[in-house]
Structure 1
Amino acid sequence: MPADAVIMAFGFNPHGMPWLQAQGVEVDAWGRIAASVETRYRYQTTNPQIFAGGDAVRGPIWW
């Protein structure tokens, strides 16, 4: 399919992001960003202007 840009992403463990928490974004006990898929705007964080996804939200997938 046509695209203007393709972004390759690789999974890593979440790490501390004090700059993000300073913006009112909550994280859970494992350091993952709290972003709900059950809200009107999927993956919206506790700061309504910031959205997150990938391993930072769901955590790494270990096989």
Structure 2
Amino acid sequence: MSNFGFRGYRTISQHLNDLKKENFSLKLRIYFLEEKIQQKFEASSDDVHRRVSDNKSE
């Protein structure tokens, strides 16, 4: 393999590694955002149930 070919391979390999790291970071971010949304939904749902119960007891 020529010096140019090796340098090209290294560049592509580094770019691929960078993309893999970015992909992992984005997957992690999506996971935590989904968790946050789920927690807000559950809290909102609990609040609705509490309000309905309060209104029934009045």
Same fold (TM over 0.5): no
| TM score, norm. by length of structure 1 | 0.15
User: Larger RCO: Structure 1 or Structure 2 (Cα < 8 Å, ≥ 6 residues apart)?
Assistant: 1
Higher strand proportion:
1
| TM score, norm. by length of structure 2 | 0.15
Higher helix proportion:
2
Structure number with larger C-alpha Rg: 2
